[in-house]
Amino acid sequence: MKAYYNENKFYNHLEEWVGAVLLAVMVVLLFVQVIMRYVLKTSAAWISEYCLYMFMYFVFLACSGAFLRNDHIQIVAVIEKLPGKMKDLANLFLYIVDLIFVTAVGYYVLLRVLDQMAMKTVSITQFPMWLMSASLLLGVGASAVRCLMNIYFIIRYEFLNSREGK
């Protein structure tokens, strides 16, 4: 399936920009950690933990970007053999299933985040644990938005525009 998003819109590159910043900060912090361990013979445990948090946000935001660009993992052997409108209908169905899945996952992750907030759980560095779980919540929320965008684009450009052209 082709991607329908507008390449010129800022919000279609939001995941890329945030991901680039997170990756740059992670690289710098991990470089500092390596220098501290091998040159200064000391270590800062908080660097590894914060890099882990940043990596989790990076990964889950990248999932959202993959949904937008239709680059997520998929098996297209059957779909590619379908005729034109059936292929579009199958892609629409798959995005609806994806939306239901990320919504269900988001609901249970939200329950977990709320539970961690109520229990006031913290990590070794006294960083709230709910912020780590919120990375998945942010990722599935952004993925749900991108699924909704693709559902809208498929309906608008493949089904509604084809009726107007006839």
Q: Tell me the pTM.
A: 0.81
Contact 89, 120 (CB under 8 A): no
Q: What is the per-residue pLDDT for 65?
A: 83
Listed as ranges, residues in the chain with pLDDT below 50 are: 166
Q: Taking the CB of residue 1, how many other CB atoms lie within 10 A of it?
A: 19
